[in-house]
């Protein structure tokens, strides 16, 4: 393609891109942390999700790295939640009880 200017004779308003994400960002929770297990939409694979975290974002990421090393599993931090590969609910609960923090199971 060349760097030539392109002109249009169309009239009317120019539409703005309305499909941009308007994320709230990370917010520290006041309640207890919650953990749930998800399989839906993941090809049958299980993912443990830790959410409603009572930590700052940097502390939550450090917690994720610590748990990832302790549990020997993959993890990621998305939308203020920590996603662990596999069913790690029991081990995450043990870690939280050793820290003296409250963790509640969510879902079935």
pLDDT in tens, 50-104: 999 988 999 999 999 999 999 999 999 998 899 999 999 999 999 999 989 899 9
Domains, the chain, ordered by start: 33-105 (3.30.780.10)
Residue located via tokens 């090809």? 43
Distance CA 103, CA 75 (A): 18
For the entire predicted model, the pTM comes to 0.73
pLDDT in tens, 2-25: 677 777 676 766 666 666 555 567
> Going by DSSP bridges, is the β-strand pair 81-85/33-38 parallel, antiparallel, or unpaired?
unpaired
């Amino acid at each position: 393609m060349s760097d030539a200017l392109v002109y249009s004779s169309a009239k009317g308003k120019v539409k703005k891109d309305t499909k941009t994400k308007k994320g709230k960002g990370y917010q520290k929770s006041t309640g207890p942390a919650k953990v749930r297990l998800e399989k839906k939409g993941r090809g049958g694979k299980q993912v443990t999700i830790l959410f409603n975290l009572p930590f700052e974002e940097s502390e939550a990421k450090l917690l994720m790295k610590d748990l990832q090393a302790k549990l020997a599993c993959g993890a990621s931090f998305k939308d203020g939640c920590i996603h662990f590969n596999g069913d790690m609910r029991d081990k995450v609960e043990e870690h939280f009880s050793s820290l003296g923090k409250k963790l509640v199971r969510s879902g079935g």
